[in-house]
A = this chain, B = another copy of it.
């Protein structure tokens, strides 16, 4: 059992890397999508990811209740959660207590039997955003990434499709 966090920028090859890592564990892999197909841009992205992944994955759509979903699918193949930043954004839009949800996630990880590979985004390496909501989101994403990284066995930072080992 291992908890792996794959972080990086937009279109850096994070999902592909995470798929490779998840497939390397025994059992049928489970794809936990935090995205919902709410608009055309998102639908296209989801369809492209699915086409690359292939059809041998169990698929779950989990926009909010990630911890119960990880517990429910525990004991089988590795779970690939793609991605944590979208989960965070969903929590914030739904006015859930994201800090509590992130702590709960970090707390449950050591107790899981099956491996989990998380995809997340680095969003804090640009200029400070003008609007306060974007600033709150990048602060929250940074805290979430630090929290999950601290609880993970391995952390990789992907740039141009190439992973750097952070932990």
Contact = CB atoms under 8 A, between A and B. Distances in A.
A54 interface: no
Interface in A134-149: 134-135, 137-139, 141-143, 145-146, 148-149
Contacts of A141: 11
The copy count of this chain in the complex is 3
Given A11-B142, A141-B11, A5 B160 contact: yes
Given A138-B127, A164-B164, A166-B164, A159 B11 contact: no
Interface in A98-137: 120, 122-129, 132, 134-135, 137
Interface of A: 5, 7-13, 41, 120, 122-129, 132, 134-135, 137-139, 141-143, 145-146, 148-150, 155, 157, 159-162, 164, 166-167
